[in-house]
């Protein structure tokens, strides 16, 4: 038997979440690698699943947890053997396939990547999908030709997981980062991560003009809706915005003006189904480029039981940085 968070759908359509015990017979049959989870984490999507605030879960019952890190116990997959250290992000885990907010999971070997040498399971989950997405976003800016000398980079949702790691990465690469947040009392925290300036998210979150004063060479956005639209309206000629989240909303009430009059580029960032080569490259850069002290500063450790209470907080924007779940505590 092992501990796990289990989600069930009640008759009224709401979600019941509980900490319980499962056995291996209850793990999915369509996996070829059984793993011991050391650490997991709570991302925004996990918060939605646990609370039932959005239809994230599409198969019941479900163990949430889109991220996991630990060791392989059993494998019929040719690339994995017992004792191998792995990281799992996405692939519908915690949505259509039982996830990693548990002490054990059965996964598909094709979904796993090897944990970089010297990186612990805890560090991997302190980074998690949020940090991995932040790295994909930062690399996309580089790939699109945005250089540190080109001008300021706006990071929205700055005190959240994606935003916090993006600030640390980009400032470490020499970019001048401006952090947008609704928590102005977190300014010292954001500046310690590397933000050169902190602005109120209210300046971006309401409907605005299609074209506004040019400021940003690049944008890392995890908020969506009017915030992303206003950020794009302020991107400088030929600049780049990346979009990876929907904390404000899934809508995009925008104009084509920035794209056809300023040559602005909008790059979508997907972490869930990203190919293995892109994942491995991102994790190697995280292992080499992310300042461990800055990662520690944004990380809090909780237990599986704590995760149930913290899930609503992450949706309400009350969580700073990253929550690492020690599933064995």
Alpha carbons within 13 A on the beta-carbon side of 40: 33
Quick one: DSSP state of residue 224? B
How many residues are present in the chain? 329
CATH class belonging to 2-115+298-326: alpha beta
Residue range 4-30, pLDDT digits in tens: 999 999 999 999 999 999 999 999 999
Q: What is the pLDDT of residue 217?
A: 98
pLDDT for res 91? 97
- Enter the pTM of the model: 0.94
Alpha carbon 167 to its chain centroid, in Å, reads 14
State residue 162's pLDDT score: 95
**Residue 227: both structure tokens together:** 């915030």
pLDDT in tens, 134-145: 999 999 999 999
- State the greatest distance between any 2 C-alpha atoms of the chain, in Å, as a whole number: 61
Q: What is the pLDDT of residue 61?
A: 97
Chain position carrying tokens 């790939």: 143
Tokens of 213: 């004063």
Low-confidence ranges of the chain (pLDDT < 50): none
Q: What is the assigned CATH class of domain 129-268?
A: alpha beta
Q: What are the sequence ranges of the domains in the chain?
A: 2-115+298-326, 129-268
- Residue 262, pLDDT score: 98
HEC secondary structure over 58-99: CCCCECCCCEEEEEEEEECCCCCCCCCEEEEECCCECCCECC
The confidence score (pLDDT) of residue 317 equals 84
């Amino acid at each position: 038997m092992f501990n796990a968070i289990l989600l069930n759908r009640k008759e009224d359509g709401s979600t019941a979440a509980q900490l319980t015990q499962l056995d291996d017979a209850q793990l999915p049959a369509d996996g070829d690698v059984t793993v011991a989870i050391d650490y997991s984490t709570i991302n925004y999507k996990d918060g939605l699943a646990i609370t039932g605030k959005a239809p994230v879960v599409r198969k019941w019952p479900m163990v949430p947890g889109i991220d996991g890190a630990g060791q392989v116990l059993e494998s019929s997959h040719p690339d994995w053997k017992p004792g191998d250290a792995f990281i799992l992000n996405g692939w519908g885990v915690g949505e259509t396939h039982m996830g990693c907010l548990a002490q054990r999971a059965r996964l598909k070997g094709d979904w796993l990547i090897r944990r970089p040498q010297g990186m612990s399971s805890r560090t991997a989950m302190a980074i998690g999908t949020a940090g991995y997405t932040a790295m994909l976003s930062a690399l996309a800016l580089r790939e699109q030709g945005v250089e540190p000398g080109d001008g300021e980079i706006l990071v929205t949702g700055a005190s959240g997981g994606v935003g916090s790691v993006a600030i640390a990465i980009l400032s470490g690469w020499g970019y001048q980062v401006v952090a947008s947040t609704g928590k102005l009392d977190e300014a010292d925290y954001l500046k310690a991560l590397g933000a050169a300036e902190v602005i109120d998210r209210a300046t971006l979150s309401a409907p605005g003009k299609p074209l506004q004063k040019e400021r940003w060479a690049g944008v890392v956005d995890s908020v969506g809706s009017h915030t992303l639209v206003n950020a794009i309206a302020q991107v400088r000629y030929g600049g780049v915005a990346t979009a990876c989240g929907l904390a404000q909303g899934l809508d995009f009430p925008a104009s084509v003006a920035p794209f056809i009059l300023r040559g602005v580029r909008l790059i979508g960032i997907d972490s869930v189904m990203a190919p293995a080569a892109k994942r491995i490259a991102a994790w190697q850069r995280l292992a080499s480029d992310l300042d461990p002290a800055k990662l520690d500063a944004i990380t809090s450790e909780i237990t599986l039981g704590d995760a149930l209470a913290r899930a609503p907080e992450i949706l309400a924007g009350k969580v700073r940085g990253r929550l690492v779940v020690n599933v064995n505590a």
